[in-house]
Amino acid sequence: MAQTVFLTGASTGIGRATAILFRDRGWNVAATMRNPAAHPDLASGGVKRIALDVTDPAAIAAACRQAMDAFGGVDVLVNNAGYGAFGPLEAASDEQIERQFTTNVTGLVRVIREFLPHFRERGSGVIVNISSVGGRVVFPLYSLYHATKWAVEGVSESLQFELGRFGIRVKVVEPGSIATDFAGRSLDRLQKDGLTVYDDYIGQLLAGWAKVRQPSPPELVAEVIYQAATDGSAQLRYAAGEDAKAILAMRPGLSDADYVVMLKQRFGID
């Protein structure tokens, strides 16, 4: 019998590539997204589109039920929905701060909680949380985004203890730079009327970023997610992309101060 994966944020980018990869390998896919009507192309094979905004607790329970009804159970949960707040913290509104955490952290935690009774009763299940290389290292002007991804890392690493006892595995996938809408549509620019003192710095960083950025395709991350979901190992973390592997390998050898110097040089910033 085909296995089933439940995916959040399956409309575009990494989520979409993951839905397609699992589908093509014979899985049932509960592809959740905020606006299923906008993505009719994802309705083929064993894919069922289900409405889910992860900031809506009632929608989480309903989406979980729909997936269970459609496929009889779920084997793998992939928490992928997320976006990045970018800019100086001083410019962030309360709404921007709360939405960043509600989407990337609270939503993810609530989705996990919804599935736990099911996984526990089955004595199996894999939870794959999409973090980021930015869940282990930091870059300038992403303080809120890093806070959420470091939270995802902490939640995941702690959860593996209490869930391992029930045969439930927790995985963290850490993509580097990936060619998706993330740097466009999914970037929430933090801006405040009259606050211009950071503009030069933002400009420097964006110029430096454009020079060093070598994005990998979302299909590469989908492969890593598939590996994490199916390898049966106790491995917690999976880097995705050569840039992610390189910086994660380099970071432990640098002091905090040396990391700052290295990044400033790399991006050509003050």
Ligand X SMILES: NC(=O)c1ccc[n+]([C@@H]2O[C@H](COP(=O)([O-])OP(=O)(O)OC[C@H]3O[C@@H](n4cnc5c(N)ncnc54)[C@H](OP(=O)(O)O)[C@@H]3O)[C@@H](O)[C@H]2O)c1
Pick the closer one to ligand X by CB: 54 or 163.
54
Q: Reply yes or no on whether 192 is catalytic.
A: no
Nearer to ligand X, 164 or 189 (CB): 189
> According to the binding rule CB under 6 A, does residue 55 interact with ligand X?
yes
Q: How far is the CB of 208 from ligand X (least distance, A)?
A: 16
Query: Closest residue (Cβ) to ligand X?
Result: 13
Of 11, 131, 132, 156, the catalytic one is 131
User: Catalytic: 132?
Assistant: no
Known catalytic membership, residue 158: no
**76-115 positions binding ligand X, by CB under 6 A:** 80-84, 103
Closest separation between CB of residue 197 and ligand X, Å? Answer: 28
* Cα dihedral 214, 86, 33, 231 in deg (nearest 10): 50
If one asks whether residue 130 binds ligand X (CB under 6 A), the answer comes out as yes
Token duo for residue 265: 């040089």
Q: Does 14 bind ligand X (CB under 6 A)?
A: yes
Catalytic residue among 145, 198, 226, 238: 145
As a whole number of angstroms, the distance between CA 76 and CA 4 comes to 7
Q: Which of residues 190-209 bind ligand X (CB under 6 A)?
A: none
156 binds ligand X (CB under 6 A): no
Task: Kindly list the catalytic residues.
Answer: 131, 145, 149
Query: For binding to ligand X (CB under 6 A), which residues are involved?
Result: 8-9, 11-15, 33-35, 52-55, 80-84, 103, 130, 132, 175, 177-178, 180-182, 185-186, 218
